[in-house]
Structure formats: C-alpha cells, structure tokens
Chains A and B, each alone.
Chain A
Amino acid sequence: MSADHHHDNELDPFAARVRALETILTRKGLIDPAAIDAIVETYETKVGPRNGAQVVAKAWTDAAFADWLKRDATAAIASLGYTGRQGEHMQAVFNTPDTHNLVVCTLCSCYPWSVLGLPPVWYKAPPYRARAVIDPRGVLAEFGLELPARQGIRVWDSTAELRYLVVPLRPEGTEGLDEAGLAALVTRDSMIGTGLPRLPA
C-alpha cells in the first residue's frame, strides 16, 4: 500500500469495524476514549504475570504466607496489592512431586487477570481449550514440557467464577536466592501449568 493513502484506508476490515464502533459509542457519549487508553495502559504496564510471580516467590519463601494462600488465596493475594477484575475469587493450586496442576477454560477464556494479566492467544483458542482436558500430556509436549510418568496431572476447568493460579515447585539450587531473584524464575506458563519455572543461571 502506498504511503500517501489516508490512514483509514490502511485498516484491515476488522480494525475498521472496531474503530467505527468506538466512534459511534464515543459520539453517543457512551464511552470515553481516554478510559480505553487507561485500560490498555493498565494491562500493558501494571497488571501482568509479574504480579503472579511475586505471589509465587513469596509463597516459596514464607511458609505462613503459603499457608494463607492455600486457605484464602483471594485475601493473601490482595495483601500484596493484587485485586480486582477476573481475580475476585482466587484459588491457588500447589504442584507436588505427585501432582502437576494445569488450568484451562474449555467454555470461554476465564483466566486470573489480577495476577497474570490478559490471557495469551493460545489459551483462548480452540486447540488448547479442546485438548487440555483429554490429552494434557500431548499439550504439554507442545510446550516442550515432559513430566515424569509417575507425576499425575490434575486439570482445573474454570467453569465458574473461581480463578486458578498454579504455584509451581520451587526449583532446586535456589536456596541462595531472595524473593526478587526467585520471582524472576517464575514464568507465566508455570503459573498456568503449561511450563515450569526457569532454573537459576
């Protein structure tokens, strides 16, 4: 497309459709475009998987917090300042040597926004939603994760308003790390169950 086209002409049809909808709603006074900017900024810069990584790192280093997180995840997570939309009712599920936890929403895209931010595309797409409940080991292989055969898998299908955060096992060789160092090892996927934490360098 040549550079002298009007900007609107460069929009793909769906982008144009969204822009038209925003324009209609703005003209009618139903939405404030600055509110959209604020929402986008929130999920680009403030609410994301670093929040969840802080929760996990604290659970690894503070047994009382881990116990609280097990009993009342919503309150324990709120104590770190992470609350709100799609995190109103939280449940933390702890991996053990015997059980690996994996979270899915087969019916839509339920995901713990307050601790992980917006879900990745694959989490919302049919392949993951279809197969996580019937072939989780096959799904994990596509993430490069092969679990020991003796470790069972528990899949949590988020069919109601509870939102699940996986607390992975603390990697070996991390005894010398502080909370910040540990949080850096906690990946988003390890808190969904499609990955494990990074190993210390």
Chain B
Amino acid sequence: MNGPHDLGGQMGFGPVAPERDEPVFHAEWEKRALGVTLCSGALGAWSIDESRHMRESLHPADYYASSYYQIWIKALERLLVRHGFVDEAELRAGEAMSPGAVPKRVLRAADVAAVLARGGPCNRPVEALPRFAPGDRVRTRNFHPTGHTRLPRYARGKTGRVEAVREGFVLPDTNAHGHGEQPEHVYTVVFDAGEIWGEGADPSLTISIDAWERYLEPA
C-alpha cells in the first residue's frame, strides 16, 4: 500500500539528529513494549509480514505522530483484537474480561534465550530456477497494490541491474494477508541515483533494494 511507512525520498521531516551515547531504551515502558510485542508474536497467530502491514496501516497522521515503539503497540492492539485474544472493551477498560482465543504456544522465560537465538528464518526452498541472473538488466513493476508490498514507491518502474540472486523467501505480499508463503527468489537490484531521482541526482550514488521475483521484469 502507498502508506505512511513508505518514506524513501519524502521531504519535510527535518534533520536526523543522532543522539550521543543513546541508551538502549528511553523509558521503562519501552522495555515492556518490546517484550509485549515479541511475546505476542510468539503466540504464533500472525507472521512478521502481517504485523508490518498492520503498522503501515495506521492512519498517516497517527503514524507520523508516534515513536516506533508506539507504532508497535498500536498495531499490536489491533492484531490481538483481529485474532481474538483481546477485545475492544478490554482495551478500553484496561482489564481482562473474557478468556479469548487459545494460542498455539506461550513464550516462557526459560525459553527466551533459545527462541531469540533461533530467530525466524524466512528462506524457503523454491523449485523454479531463478528467472534472472547477476548482470541482467531488469525493470521494477509499476504497481500500486492496496495490500502489503515491499517494493518501495521510489523504486517502481525503474531500470536497474541484478547484482545478486538470493535464496527463495516468503513472499510478504501474500503472506501478510493469509494467502500463503508462496516463496520466490529474491534479487539484489542496484540502480544509479539518476534513474531514481532524475535531475540533480548525486552521480556518485547507487541504491539497491532486495526485490522478490514478481517485482521484476526483463529490461
């Protein structure tokens, strides 16, 4: 979707303002927000793609007014409601009132180290041979799906060069919506800045994206 999250090349947000000696967390609630988000993900009810899509589906004004942990929590509340673990009345009241959905699993403290060390690999076997090879010139599709995609707007309809052919990976465009993992090869595609930004582009700049096969056409 052409949502508020798709920020590449947008203007008006001001300077980056890096923080010297930045702490890992800026408030106690951020620690709990991280943990609640990860523990809820570990319930096994939704994929990382569905959670990303929920975050980018926040109203743009809300998205831009929120810190990243706030974005996480706002999206998490919606995911928990969607999957029946909590309801709106409980969120309003701030207390549990009904049992709700039964999770596949619950993350226990004793298992945290192993679960974090294992992670959640998204590579999958793909039987089809890669359609493109390193060095191929490709054009990204110009599409504007209303659902989830990982092809940023600034890189749509642009011609670049395949630099690397990656493994097969779960396709976010379908997986975010419960339409299956449908793994495809991923390609690192590099563009000259002039192709992306046109007039006045930095001639010493190249930009790459990692693109699923269906994002690309031969050029």
What are 9 pairs between A and B in contact, CB < 8 Å? A21-B76, A21-B91, A22-B35, A31-B106, A106-B154, A122-B18, A136-B202, A157-B152, A162-B186
CB 8 Å contact bits of B83-106 with A (1 = contact, 0 = none): 001100011001110011001001
Give Cα A189 to B178, complex, Å.
37
Give Cα A128 to B85, complex, Å.
35
Across the A-B interface, give the 5 residue pairs with the lowest CB-CB distance, nearest first.
A36-B35, A160-B210, A20-B94, A106-B8, A34-B109
**Which B residues have a C-beta under 8 Å from some C-beta of A?**
5-11, 13-19, 22, 24-29, 31-36, 38-40, 43, 52, 55-56, 64, 67-68, 70, 73, 76-77, 80, 85-86, 90-91, 94-96, 99-100, 103, 106-109, 111-113, 115-123, 150-152, 154-155, 166-167, 169-170, 186, 188, 190, 193, 196-197, 202, 204-212
- B29 touches which one: A14, A137, A143 (CB < 8 A)? A14
Which residues on the B side are within 8 Å of A18 (C-beta)?
A: 29, 32-33, 36, 73
Chain B, Cβ-Cβ closest to A31? B39
- A30 touches which one: B5, B43, B64, B206 (CB < 8 A)? B43
Is the Cβ of B207 less than 8 Å from the Cβ of A89?
no
Q: With contacts A84-B117, A85-B116, A133-B207 known, is A35 near B16, CB below 8 A?
A: no
State which size class the interface on A falls in.
35 or more
Give Cα A173 to B204, complex, Å.
28
Chain A, Cβ-Cβ closest to B112? A38
A154 in contact (CB, < 8 A): yes
A134 in contact (CB, < 8 A): yes
Is the Cβ of A155 less than 8 Å from the Cβ of B207?
yes
Is the Cβ of A32 less than 8 Å from the Cβ of B205?
no
Chain B, Cβ-Cβ closest to A29? B106
Counting chain A CB atoms within 10 Å of each CB, the highest count among B22, B85, B109, B170 belongs to: B109
Quote the shortest CB–CB distance from B99 to chain A (angstroms): 7
Give Cα A91 to B115, complex, Å.
22
Chain A, Cβ-Cβ closest to B27? A15
Question: Which candidate, A41-49, A50-58, A61-69, A175-183, is the interface stretch facing chain B?
Answer: A41-49
Is the Cβ of A121 less than 8 Å from the Cβ of B211?
no
